[in-house]
Amino acid sequence: MIKALMFCLVLLTIQQPTNNPHLTIKVSNIEKIKGEIKIGVFNTGTNFLKEGHAIKNYSIKVENSTAVLTIKDLPKGEYAITMYHDQNSDNVCNRNFIGIPKEPYGFSNNIKPSMSAPKYEDCKFDLTENKTLHIKLINY
């Protein structure tokens, strides 16, 4: 009886696996094989694209003209992805004098900004089950 009770207590204390869906991001159009792809995950339009406001940040070392990241720690929900190729490894998305990135960048839904930065609404997607995003970097 005591052994059975202890076994039940052990089972209760073991962390149960999460049911988070997996988000796989496949990045293409990488022209320079150096640096890292810096990825930001947002879950609201408030402070979208603002430095330090992503709910999660990830990096992929660039070793090829494509890169893949699988994220397993996002709960089901609505998200938008931003990324840039930090070619010089300074942890900054370098920009020109009017604010346009000088390093390649990309967004979920492959939004290509024309006259202004994209909005969260344009980049958002639902993550309710395992999903793969194909994002093609925009080279300056």
Q: pLDDT (tens digit, 9 = 90+) per residue, 33-57?
A: 999 999 999 999 999 999 899 999 9
Q: What predicted TM-score, i.e. pTM, was given to this entire model?
A: 0.85
**CATH code that applies to domain 19-136:** 2.60.40
Give percent above pLDDT 90 in the chain: 79
Ordered by start, the domain boundaries in the chain are: 19-136
**Per-residue pLDDT, 39:** 98
Tell me: pLDDT of 21 over 80: yes
- Taking only the tens place, the pLDDT of each residue in 78-129 is 999 999 999 999 999 999 998 889 999 999 999 998 888 999 999 999 999 9
Cβ(96)–Cβ(51) under 8 Å? no
**Per-residue pLDDT, 98:** 87
* Residue 1's pLDDT band (cuts 50, 70, 90): low
**Which amino acid belongs to residue 48?**
F
